[in-house]
């Protein structure tokens, strides 16, 4: 399969420059925030009241609406980047630190989805893989007592291995029986969550003197070192995630395994004809993907959480899917997207605290961004862009049931 066939063909791009993927991505973000503004407005009592007397005071209604939306988004922005009213330098920088802290596991769980996508697999199981990864890292972190550097490495490795096994199972099932990974990975997400609750009933996972389901704290030796200190939570997990990104990029573009993986994803039959065994690719791709998701759970555990609870790694897996889709299943795009979504999530918490707008809004906006990116033709028609590309069928990342 030639390079040109793998990407949508660019035809008829004469005269006006056609809007490329980058423009569509940007406009998808704009559109998502616009719909998000609508959701904020229609769910706000004061705004609805002001529209109730729109006949007597039309300007007031518009003003109220704009002010409510602007307040929420301003709080979101402040919570994501810098807080100019923070006072001390630490308080001013705190939102940025939180954004990066949130982005770190997102980058890894996004890379997990990206890697699987490139093999033609849709790994929705990042959640379960991150959960068992966090559990593995936590167990090594609190149960053993190893030398400083070794302890951290062992805990991270435990996360990778646990997640990798959790991911390899659906890959193996797909290669062996054809069971679709979308279903098996989702089922394993639920199994993983219940497994954590089960583990936390055991003596070995229980914190002494606590009746509720919570593990002992990870020992300081196994924690990811803080980078700035003070109240800022920024930790060395950022470097782990960036190294993983570089590793995935190298794997995909420079190694035989990466080539086989991409070939399987681009054209299964051509890959088979070339002697590649898809069943093996499925297992290894899903194991690596699961390992990355497990590492995502591990960095969250060893960087910020430090203790295993039933709600561990909440939402990490599904946010990872959004990150990978926003990044168009490329390594660089995924890294960039993780910072955007990290900022949205960190800012969303501040927004809820200061304006009362529920943080669920962030989930809506993230989902809408991806929804619009999945349908570039929709974005183009909303913004009346020339459709210079052919139909985006060839750009399809996931396949049907086969």
Partner 1 sequence: MSAPAHAAEPTFGRPGSLARAGLALGALALLVGAGVGLGDSAGEETRFRLSAVAADVQLGEIAVPVGVCAWVCAAIIALVGVRAVTAPTLPRSAVAVAVLAATIAFLCWAAAGKTLNLAGLTNATVTGSLPLVLGALAGVLCERSGVINIAIEGQFLLGAFTASTAASLAGVWVGLAAGSLAGGVVGAVLAVMAIRYLADQVIVGVVLNLVILGLTGFLFNRIVVPNQVALGSPPGLPSLNLPGLSELPVIGPALFDQSIMLAIAVALVVGVHLTLRRTRWGLRTLAVGENPEAAQSAGVSVRGVRYRNVIVGGMIAGLGGVYLTIGSVGAFGPNISSGKGFIALAALIFGRWMPLPALVAALLFGFADAVQSTLSIVGTPIPTELLQMFPYLVTILAVAGLVGHVRPPAADGKPFIRA
- 387 is written with which tokens? 């459709």
Minimum CB distance to partner 1 smaller for 60 or for 356: 356
Binding to partner 1 by residue 191, rule CB under 8 A? yes
Q: Are 347 and 76 in contact (CB under 8 A)?
A: yes
Candidates 148, 279, 332, 353; binder of partner 1 (CB under 8 A) is 279
Phi and psi angles of residue 295, each rounded to the nearest 5 degrees, phi first: -65, -35
Q: Which residue, among 359, 363, 341, has the nearest Cα to 100 in the 3D structure?
A: 341
Q: Which of 51, 205, 282, 306 binds partner 1 (CB under 8 A)?
A: 282
Residue 72 CB, shortest distance to partner 1, in Å, is 12
Distances from the Cα of 400 to the Cα of 62, 99, 120, 122, 397, angstroms: 45, 36, 10, 10, 10
**182-191 contacts, C-beta under 8 A, 24 or more apart:** 182/122, 182/124, 184/125, 185/123, 185/124, 185/125, 185/128, 186/124, 186/125, 188/125, 188/128, 189/124, 189/125, 189/127, 189/128, 189/131, 189/317, 190/128, 191/128
Of 93 and 319, which has the nearer Cβ to partner 1? 319
Q: Which residues of 80-97 are buried (b: 16+ CB within 10 A; e: fewer)?
A: beebeeeeeeeeebbbbb
* Region 244-273 residues binding partner 1, contact defined as CB under 8 A: 268-269, 272
User: How many whole angstroms separate alpha carbon 267 and alpha carbon 105?
Assistant: 31
Residue number, 199 or 218, with CB nearest to partner 1: 199
With binding defined as CB under 8 A, does residue 378 bind partner 1? Answer: yes
Q: Is 165 in the site for partner 1 (CB under 8 A)?
A: no
Candidates 205, 318, 339, 341; binder of partner 1 (CB under 8 A) is 318
Question: Looking at 59-67, 84-92, 101-109, 318-326, which segment touches partner 1 (CB under 8 A)?
Answer: 318-326
Take residue 285 and report the two structure tokens written for it. 């791709």
* Site membership for partner 1, residue 183 (CB under 8 A): yes
When asked if residue 385 is in the footprint of partner 1 (CB under 8 A), the reply is no
**Considering only residues 2, 14, 145, 402, which one is a binding residue for partner 1 as defined by CB under 8 A?**
402
Between 304 and 363, name the residue whose CB sits nearer to partner 1: 363
Give strand pairing partners of 226: 235
217 binds partner 1 (CB under 8 A): no
- Is the CB of 120 or the CB of 294 nearer to partner 1? 120
Measured CA to CA, the distance from residue 147 to residue 49 in angstroms comes to: 63
Burial annotation 294-311 (CB, 10 A radius, 16+ → b, else e) = bbbbbbbbbbbbbebbbe
Which one, 166 or 306, has the nearer CB to partner 1?
166
The tokens describing 236, both together, are 């060395």
Q: Which of residues 42-61 bind partner 1 (CB under 8 A)?
A: 43
Stretch that binds partner 1, among 133-141, 238-246, 297-305, 376-384 (CB under 8 A): 376-384
* Minimum separation from the CB atom of position 170 to partner 1 (A): 8
User: Looking only at residues 102 through 131 of this chain, which bind partner 1 when binding is defined by CB under 8 A?
Assistant: 122, 124
Figure out which of the listed residues 175, 225, 230, 249 binds partner 1, where binding follows CB under 8 A: 175
87 lines the binding site for partner 1 (CB under 8 A): no
Looking at the Cβ atoms of 113 and 140, the one nearer to partner 1 is: 113
Distance CA 264, CA 245 (A): 21
Q: Measured from the CB of residue 171, what is the shortest distance to partner 1 in angstroms?
A: 11
Pick the binder of partner 1 from 17, 210, 277, 386 (CB under 8 A): 277
Report if residue 39 touches partner 1, rule: CB under 8 A.
Answer: yes
**Cβ count within 10 A of residue 72:** 23
What is the b/e burial string over 221-237, where b = at least 16 CB atoms within 10 angstroms of the residue's CB? bbbbeeeeeeebbbbbb
CB of 123 to partner 1, least distance (A): 11
Task: State the minimum distance, in angstroms, from the CB of residue 34 to partner 1.
Answer: 14
- Alpha-carbon span 53 to 332, nearest angstrom: 50
Residue 364 within binding range of partner 1, rule CB under 8 A: yes
Least Å from the CB of residue 371 to partner 1 = 5
Structure tokens at 40: 């904020």
Using CA atoms of 32, 394, 335, 282 in order, give the dihedral in degrees to the nearest 10.
120
Give the binding site for partner 1 (CB under 8 A): 39, 43, 122, 124, 173, 175-180, 182-184, 186-191, 194-195, 197-198, 201, 268-269, 272, 277-279, 282, 318, 321-322, 325, 357-358, 360-364, 366-368, 370-371, 374-378, 381, 391-393, 396-402
């Amino acid at each position: 399969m030639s390079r040109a066939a793998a990407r949508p063909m660019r035809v008829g791009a004469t005269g006006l420059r056609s809007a490329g993927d980058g423009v569509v991505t940007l406009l998808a973000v704009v559109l998502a925030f616009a719909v998000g503004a609508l959701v904020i407005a229609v769910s706000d009592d004061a705004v609805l009241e002001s529209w109730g007397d729109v006949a007597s005071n039309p300007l007031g209604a518009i003003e109220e609406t704009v002010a409510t939306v602007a307040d929420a988004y301003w709080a979101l922005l402040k919570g994501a980047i810098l807080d100019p009213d923070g006072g001390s330098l630490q308080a001013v920088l705190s939102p940025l630190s939180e954004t990066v802290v949130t982005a770190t596991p997102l980058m890894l769980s996004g890379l997990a989805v990206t890697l699987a996508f490139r093999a033609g697999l849709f790994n929705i199981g990042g959640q379960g893989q991150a959960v068992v990864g966090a559990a593995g890292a936590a167990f090594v972190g609190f149960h053993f007592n190893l030398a400083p550097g070794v302890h951290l490495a062992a805990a991270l490795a435990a996360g990778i291995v646990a997640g990798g096994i959790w991911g390899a199972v659906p890959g193996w099932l797909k290669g062996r029986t054809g069971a679709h990974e979308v279903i098996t990975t989702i089922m394993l997400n639920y199994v993983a969550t219940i497994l954590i609750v089960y583990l936390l009933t055991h003596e070995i996972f229980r914190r002494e003197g606590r009746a509720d389901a919570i593990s002992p704290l990870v020992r300081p030796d196994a924690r990811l070192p803080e980078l700035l200190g003070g109240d800022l939570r920024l930790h060395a997990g950022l470097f782990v995630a960036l190294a993983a990104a570089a590793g995935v990029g190298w794997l995909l573009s420079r190694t035989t395994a990466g080539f086989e993986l991409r070939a399987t994803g681009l054209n299964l039959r051509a890959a088979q004809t070339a002697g590649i065994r898809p069943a093996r690719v499925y297992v290894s791709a899903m194991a690596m993907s699961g390992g990355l998701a497990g590492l995502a759970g591990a960095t969250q555990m060893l960087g910020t959480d430090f203790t295993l609870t039933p709600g561990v790694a909440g939402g990490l897996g599904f946010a990872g899917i959004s990150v990978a889709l926003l990044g168009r299943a490329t390594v660089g795009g995924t890294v960039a997207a993780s910072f955007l979504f990290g900022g949205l999530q960190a800012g969303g918490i501040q927004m809820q605290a200061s304006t009362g707008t529920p943080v669920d809004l962030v989930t809506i906006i993230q989902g809408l961004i991806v929804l619009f990116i999945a349908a570039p033709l929709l974005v183009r028609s909303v913004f009346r862009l020339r459709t210079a590309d052919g139909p985006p069928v060839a750009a399809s990342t996931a396949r049907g049931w086969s």
